Each structure stands twice: as C-alpha cells, then as structure tokens.
Amino acid sequence: MGDSSHNQLDNGTFELYRNGRNFFPDSGVCAYMAEDNEKIMELRRWFRQTKAHNTMVLGKTTDHEETGTENINKAAGTLLLFEEKDEYQLIVTENQGYNNFKHRRSIFYVKQPQDFFVLVDEGFGTATGYVKLYFHLCDGKSVDNVLLDKEEFGAHTTFDNSNNLLIRTFGEASRNLIFKEFDGRISYQTDRKYEHRKSYAVVMRKPDNNPVRYITVLYPVDSATSPVIKGQFVNTGNEDKVSVNVTINKKLYNLSYSLNKRR
C-alpha cells in the first residue's frame, strides 16, 4: 500500500464507546491528497501508520521508531472464532501483518456481574525484536482527564459524570513489560490540523521464535477509585488454545477458548 492508497494500516484496531463517550477513537486522517507536497505527505503517513491505531506492531527497538518503519505490510484480517455463552461473548481475529509475524486478538465481553472487556493479544512467528501494543485514549479535548499509570502498565480517566475507564495490561510471568508514552494525535478533518492526545505502548521483547502474549482489561468505573485487577495466563503450551484468569476485587473470572473446535 503506497502513498497513493487511502487504506489505513490499522488491522486489528478497535474503538470502545460507553454511555456516549468514545474512550479509544481512531486517529483519523488529517490530510487526504497532495502527493506532490512532502509536508502534507508526512502528515498523511503519520496518520496512516500502524502505531497510530489501537493495535500491535513489531519494531527493532523499545523506542517509538520513525514514522512508517514498523508498519504492517498486509491488512487481511480473518475471523477465527465467535462464541456466545451465559458469562461472556467472544470473538477471535487474526492478521498476518508481517511476513514472519502475525497478530491474533481475542476479545472477551464479560457480562456479569458488571460488563467489562478483556483483550488477549498474541504475536506468533519467527521474527525477533520488540512487540508493541498501542493504546490511544479519548480526544484532544480530554487530555487532562486521561492519566497514564506507568507502574501499572495502563491508564485511567477522571471524567466527573461517573463514566470512566480503567485499563490494565499484563504479560506472561517470564516476560518483562516496558511502558512507553507516545505523542498521540487525532483529526477527523482533512484540513491538516490535529489535536494532541494521550497515547502509550506496552512493549515486550521477542528474542526468538516463541510467541508473546498480553492480557488487557478494560474496566468501566464511576470514579478514579481503582479496583484491584490482576491477569495471568493459565496455559500457554498450545497456540490454538487460550486460558486466562482475571481477578477483579478478588472475584475470579476464567476465560478460555480452543480453536480446535472449529476444525
């Protein structure tokens, strides 16, 4: 997908609305055409790049690398599984974004006793480097209402109308996580103007062929008072199965699936 393409390199991204508020709006476009103007094309490339979206990229360092260097080269996501149970709904999607690395995202919508979401992000392949899971929060007018919780590998919002969100990310016990703040942008116009917003990546080193895995809990809250949230993988020995335990204020949720069911 070259500069003339209008496609976004964003496979696997998501948005989340609650009570009229979009907590993870897409970055937008900012500029549309003008391929003969390098400054405008720099804006287009920034907004089109994969890390400008709520998804996973593969990089060579822990830092936010130059615009476009970490872009996926294929956006052809597939739906692997859909399940609906009394406790939760589940969808599993996958995209072979790089020749030697694919991103699988599982989304659990837990319905009882309070609605919340759990994302399980996995990266498979022979590629080595640093896997980066990006999150872009709210719009530019809400910068002061988004607080990054670096020690907790997440963030929370502080709106005063009882409509807030707590985000926490966990990795496998043997993997170290790194928190990297990112200068996010958002623009739904094509006038080349944009607003800044709070964004960050949770980074994990991938030194070999073994998969990397994240658990992210998106938990609605009334205020900034934070419940205690924990997440851990129960079994990582089979690439076609996922089993995680999420604990919120001492209540345990076991979330699992097997792709073998569809075969």
Q: Output the CA–CA distances (angstroms, integers) from residue 210 to 124, 155, 230, in the order listed.
A: 7, 28, 24
Residue 3 is given by DSSP the state T
Question: Parallel, antiparallel, or unpaired: how do β-strands 101-110 and 116-124 relate?
Answer: antiparallel
Tokens of 137: 């929060």
One digit per residue, the tens of pLDDT, for the chain of length 263 reads 556 555 678 899 999 999 999 999 999 988 877 667 888 888 888 998 999 999 999 999 999 999 889 999 998 899 999 999 999 999 999 999 999 999 999 999 998 778 999 999 999 999 999 999 999 999 989 999 999 999 999 999 999 888 999 999 999 987 899 999 999 999 988 888 899 999 999 999 999 999 999 999 999 998 867 789 999 999 877 889 999 999 999 999 999 999 985 54
Burial class from Cβ neighbours inside 10 Å (0-12, 13-18, 19+) for residue 170 reads: buried
Tokens of 72: 């996926």
- Compute the distance between CA of residue 57 and CA of residue 70 in angstroms, rounded to an integer: 6
pTM here? 0.94
- Compute the distance between CA of residue 209 and CA of residue 215 in angstroms, rounded to an integer: 20
